[in-house]
Structure 1
Amino acid sequence: MNPLYALEGLNFFMADVQAGIGPFLGVFLQAQGWHTDAIGTVMTLGGIAGMLATSPAGALVDATRYKRGLIVVAGVMTTLASLVLWVSHDYWMVAASQILTAVTGAALGPAVAGVTLGMVRERGFDRQFGRNQVANHAGNVVAAALSGWLGWRFGFGSVFVLAGLFGAMTVISTLLIRRDSIDHDSARGLGASSSKEREHAGGFRMLLTCKPLLLLAASLAMFHLGNAAMLPLYGLGVVAAHKGDPSAFTAQTIVIAQLVMVAAAFFASRIIQRIGYWGVILITFLALPLRGLVAAMFINAWGVWPVQALDGIGAGLQSVAVPALVVRLLQGTGRVNVGQGVVMTVQGIGAALSPALGGMLAQHFGYKVAFLVLGAVSIGSLLLWLFFGSALKKACGIHRDSANEPSLAT
């Protein structure tokens, strides 16, 4: 098998593994009698654990030559952690499951990015990572649609069975990637550099001196503080208003967003070529305030279409542009995957706090206020991106290595 097809298959099946049962967690726990503030808190615990794990996970990806094995172990552990929820709804058991899911899932993002970079090098990264994300979002669509139908037809237990099946397929897809198709020096951003350059590859201190990287991470942190809780909270708001079946409606919210993300990821590399990384990320920051306003105005079954379409535009473009920009900024340092982990960690701070903030606002002030506040928070990322626009535009310029890249097409 062409290893790139296996890589795309990995991204497809990994979609239902990386975040456990994802947005279904909120409505699942709500069905067990949990309140929104408790749901938000337990999701925040998982977010914090994932945030703390991503930078070490990135460093491990840079250091190890067993990247396929790392993906297999992380995929298996994440799937098992999700299945724990099937047998126990105790608060601390759920919290432990979310922590383990987040910690093991944290390794999957940098590992897949590193494997991709090692297979296609920097020159082919934008295009291939876009294809990866198309497969990943398509996997989310299929998993969400199946989860919604199975949950409605057979109950929530079938959602966990589906998660186990996708976990098994993730392992199989990973093993179908040939070991010799990954250049581990290129995978960490060293390419054809000398052994001396490898020996003195930059460390965490180097990352702290990269101002554009820090600005990117800080902007994403504010964005995800407003964005992360929006999808599960919107599902809870509509279900609480008795506007839809929990499983079916939650699946609908995911499917709509992921379908838009498929299109956004497909065109992302072309848009980057036209307006650059800075312009693409600016578009994603503009989408969230509008999303919060629409969510506050239309808490009903049909409102999910514009709310989740806006999420698809923002998240779909970011899923390609952000990793590709990190590769661009850190190429030649040998610390690309640590950089990916650091960006994920900082944005994870916002994502981890978002469910607790959203749950608290919804509990005490109502869903409309929660959506307006979450949308307004992200204006900070927009202001930061614009204020440092000139410096960021220069750093975000499109660059490709002139070296010829080996082809994996045959």
Structure 2
Amino acid sequence: MPSASIQPAEATPSPSRTSLRALDWLNFFLADVQTGIGPFFAIYLATHQWNEQHVGLALTVGGIAGIGTQLPAGQLADRVHSKRALVAVGVTLLGVGAWLIASFPTFWPELLAQVLVGGVSSIFIPATCAISLGLVGPTLFDRRQGRNQTFNSAGNVTAAVVAGLLGHFVTNQSVFYFVMALTVPTLLSLRFIHPAEIDFERARGAKPDGGPAHTASFRQLLQDARLRTFLACAVMFHFANAAMLPLLGEMLAKGRGRDSMLFMSACVVTTQFVITLLAAWTGRRAGTWGRKPLLLLAFAVLPIRGVLYTLTHDPALRVAIQVLDGVGAGIFGVVSVLVIADLTRGTGRFNVTLGAITMAVGIGASLSQVIAGTVVHRLGYPAGFLFLAAVATVALVLFAKAMPETLERPSE
């Protein structure tokens, strides 16, 4: 795979204010829709007497469905001119999945819903990143990605608060009907992004001089040693991170009934509030400090978080620990996409590479759910969290030792 190099200067894009604001709100409402399903799904099943292994199985099935569609989603984002259509289809099908979850809380319908939700969710990251890169170009992409994450996290906060209140004061099922309702403003936001302003070549990371873009095979994608190293680190990061919040949710659900939704809401709000404050700053600093210092911080807080969960039984303190989740997720969510953009700039393979890496980390996240669930079932929650913290420590060491900086600075 060609390594990143400094490309010829490209004319600065001038997207309209309407498109940029619509992209803000698209990120906000997409987060609302996804947050209303993700963190609350484990609690919903636990309150319907599903045990840890069955919950882990359902989450794993959804993860596997997402894994199988990540690479095709990235390829579609590179090849299809209408990025908005990809997002619209995904949002509509996500609403159908939410309806299945709320209406049929039994084994097979829930598995079907997880397949649907997991499959279509893979569309959103490459498609929204393609829209962003197509609108603003590579020079401003770091700041745009930080802004995307800010609105995404603000949407997560809003959805978590509303979902927690609905789960506590109405019913657990009402959370998923809320998700269905949110598909309407999401689709409206998408409509106000002007398609003519999304440059097709820029959106897939093609050469600034307008040269042809190419779709890479897996072998071509992995020719870059930096990409292989980042891939391994990202897989371990997500393996260690993915199961922590669902396990925390299961602990909070035991013996608390509807109150568990409020606790989970508090956890999600804490995390996403921190991300909201941090994301725009991260986007700015990624262009001056570089990518590696920020990612080292993201990797470092994860094992600390896993250990801290084992040191207290106080729900309030467990919620407070989610500040570390916000730091890690906020930085990783912004900077990981920038690293991929760095490594694929000028190749026309940005979205397919993003899809391939997202597929790989999806494998790690899915295995995390079922393996950590099994550890907890056999040895208890402290052992599960310590196991995840150990994996996070290995990821930190590998990243610190083997991953170089990817930001290309102009020669002086």
Fold in common (TM above 0.5)? yes
Q: d(CA) in 2 for partners of 1:400 and 1:66?
A: 34
2:248 maps to 1:238: no
Greater Cα shift, 240-249 or 157-166: 240-249
Partner of 2:378: 364
Greater Cα shift, 5-14 or 15-24: 15-24
1:148 to 146, 158, 164: 164
2:47 maps to 1:37: no
Amino acid at match of 1:373: F
Given that residues 302 and 324 in structure 2 are in contact (C-alpha distance below 8 angstroms), is that contact kept between their aligned partners in structure 1? Answer: yes
Given that residues 223 and 381 in structure 1 are in contact (C-alpha distance below 8 angstroms), is that contact kept between their aligned partners in structure 2? Answer: yes
Q: d(CA) in 2 for partners of 1:244 and 1:8?
A: 33
Superposed CA offset, 1:382-403 (max 9, x none): 12112214xx12xx124589xx
Greater Cα shift, 13-22 or 39-48: 13-22
- Normalising by structure 2, we get a TM-score of 0.92
2:101 maps to 1:85: yes
Q: Shift of residue 243 of structure 1? A: 9.7
Q: d(CA) in 1 for partners of 2:281 and 2:408?
A: 16
2:228 maps to 1:214: yes
Amino acid at match of 1:342: A
Given that residues 18 and 75 in structure 1 are in contact (C-alpha distance below 8 angstroms), is that contact kept between their aligned partners in structure 2? Answer: no
Partner of 1:269: 283
2:320 maps to 1:310: no
Q: Shift of residue 305 of structure 1? A: 3.4
What percent identity do the matched residue pairs reach?
A: 34
1:294 to 302, 308, 311: 308
2:109 maps to 1:105: no
Partner of 1:59: 75
Given that residues 163 and 175 in structure 2 are in contact (C-alpha distance below 8 angstroms), is that contact kept between their aligned partners in structure 1? Answer: yes
CA 1:19 to 1:258, structure 2 compared with 1: closer, same or farther past 3 Å? closer
Superposed CA offset, 1:294-329 (max 9, x none): 111123211223321110000000111011111111
Partner of 2:24: 8
Q: Shift of residue 263 of structure 1? A: 1.4
Given that residues 36 and 176 in structure 2 are in contact (C-alpha distance below 8 angstroms), is that contact kept between their aligned partners in structure 1? Answer: no
Q: d(CA) in 1 for partners of 2:240 and 2:176?
A: 28
Matches within 5 A, 1:78-227: 78-195=94-211, 197-198=212-213, 200=214, 202-227=216-241
2:32 maps to 1:21: no
Partner of 1:74: 90
Amino acid at match of 1:352: S
Moved over 6 A (4+): none
Root-mean-square deviation over aligned CA pairs? 1.8
Q: d(CA) in 2 for partners of 1:57 and 1:268?
A: 27
Given that residues 46 and 253 in structure 2 are in contact (C-alpha distance below 8 angstroms), is that contact kept between their aligned partners in structure 1? Answer: no
Partner of 1:407: none
State the secondary structure of the residue aligned to 1:75: helix
State the secondary structure of the residue aligned to 2:209: coil
Given that residues 46 and 95 in structure 1 are in contact (C-alpha distance below 8 angstroms), is that contact kept between their aligned partners in structure 2? Answer: yes
Q: Shift of residue 238 of structure 1? A: 2.7
Amino acid at match of 1:96: L
Partner of 2:13: none
Amino acid at match of 1:147: A
Given that residues 234 and 299 in structure 1 are in contact (C-alpha distance below 8 angstroms), is that contact kept between their aligned partners in structure 2? Answer: no
Given that residues 36 and 159 in structure 2 are in contact (C-alpha distance below 8 angstroms), is that contact kept between their aligned partners in structure 1? Answer: no
Q: Shift of residue 202 of structure 1? A: 4.3
Superposed CA offset, 1:45-87 (max 9, x none): 1112112211110011000001101100011101211210111
1:397 to 390, 407, 410: 407
Q: d(CA) in 1 for partners of 2:250 and 2:410?
A: 45
Q: d(CA) in 1 for partners of 2:197 and 2:318?
A: 42
